[in-house]
Amino acid sequence: MRIGITCYPTYGGSGIVATELGMELALRGYEVHFISYANPIRLDPDTPNVYYHEVEVSNYPLFVYPPYSLALASRMYEVAERQKLDLLHVHYAIPHSISALLAQQMTTSRFLPFITTLHGTDITLVGTDRSYFPITKFSIERSNGVTTISEFMRQRTEDFFGITQPIEVIHNFVNCTLYRPDPEARAKGRKRILHISNFRPVKRVNDCILAFAKVRPHVDAELVMAGDGPDRGPAEQLARDLGVAEHVRFLGKQDHMERLIPRMHALHLPSETEAFGLAALEAMACGVAPVATLAGGVPDLITHGVDGYMEPVGDIDAQAARLTALLTDERLHDRIATAARATALKRFCTDLIIPRYEVYYQQVCSRGSSGGR
């Protein structure tokens, strides 16, 4: 099967999942063509059966805003025709699903189905914007298949948009061979807490600093902040104001999280909401105990008190108490970390999740142009 994948090629979770999915499919013998305006961050060009097609957008003086969605549709069509694609799989509804719909309508030689995967903010933020609501709803309803990454996202989409067509929940996944514990690396130096995000308001980055300031009096710990975004500056200032700046490291964007995460002892994910919590899953696969918020799709991943903790959004004291306990009680840490790794192995490894996409692809393609939705 030949599959075209389109995603945002940046550090967001949707792009990471789409890229990892494409590479896993390629290793299973699929021919995978990435179609985007830049090479996806995690795309390994040495992976067999993987190809990249850049979308070029012309900056004519007439255009105040370059028409990326139209350029993307044209490129999708060109690649689909030239490479004889069987399916388009777009990640993030706007504008990718609309572009896929246009490419489908341009393809007259055969029926070209497309699947839309909803990842979170395309529904919770972009889709709820009044100016985008109609076209987001339209793009979902016209998709030949729709998947999302958690029960929370499925329910949110159905309730908000009044979607009646089936939405398949296929959870995010992790390569449990690549993401694995490294006890020797973890044993070196101080205790370390990790935060990974795009440093946007929904991630509540300042809560990491506030909680860490409460942890420091009890344990000689270090806070490692991986990622970048608009809230990095305020977080750095808050660390200085609270007197913990020398114990906080801002690493910026990182390409090889599988090397960084195993060195950590705990992950702090204090988000306002999470569609799933990919950062927590990657940490769990590495035997890093997660402390997250009881929000969004996180309960699909973490069982409170078993393989991690979930506390209310904004409850800095409760989150700090969990982090402190994990860093000061070795038996507790080992129990939670071991269970976290077991959860990743038993429920979210690539060998369990990727076959679900394969089955879904076959179902969508077998429907044909009639009854395709």
- What pTM was estimated for this model as a whole? 0.90
Q: Which fold has domain 2-173+350-367?
A: Rossmann fold (3.40.50)
- E-strand ranges in the chain read 2-6, 31-36, 50-54, 87-91, 114-118, 145-148, 168-169, 191-197, 221-227, 248-252, 266-269, 289-293, 309-311
b/e 87-101 (16+ beta carbons within 10 angstroms → b):
bbbbbbbbbbbbbbb
238-287 tens-digit pLDDT: 999 999 999 999 999 888 899 999 999 999 999 999 999 999 999 999 99
CA gap 299, 297 in Å, rounded: 6
- pLDDT given at position 120: 79
**Domain pair 2-173+350-367 / 183-348, same fold:** yes
Residue 370: pLDDT over 60 = no
Phi, psi of 80 (to 5 degrees): -60, -40
Domain chopping of the chain, boundaries: 2-173+350-367, 183-348
48-105 tens-digit pLDDT: 999 999 998 877 776 667 788 999 999 999 999 999 999 999 998 889 999 999 999 9
Sequence-ordered alpha helix ranges (H) in 162-277: 183-187, 205-215, 232-241, 257-260
350-362 tens-digit pLDDT: 999 999 999 999 9
- pLDDT given at position 369: 53
> Cβ(79)–Cβ(72) under 8 Å?
no
> Which one of 2.60.120.10, 3.40.50.2000, 1.10.260.40, 3.30.70.360 gives the CATH number of domain 183-348?
3.40.50.2000
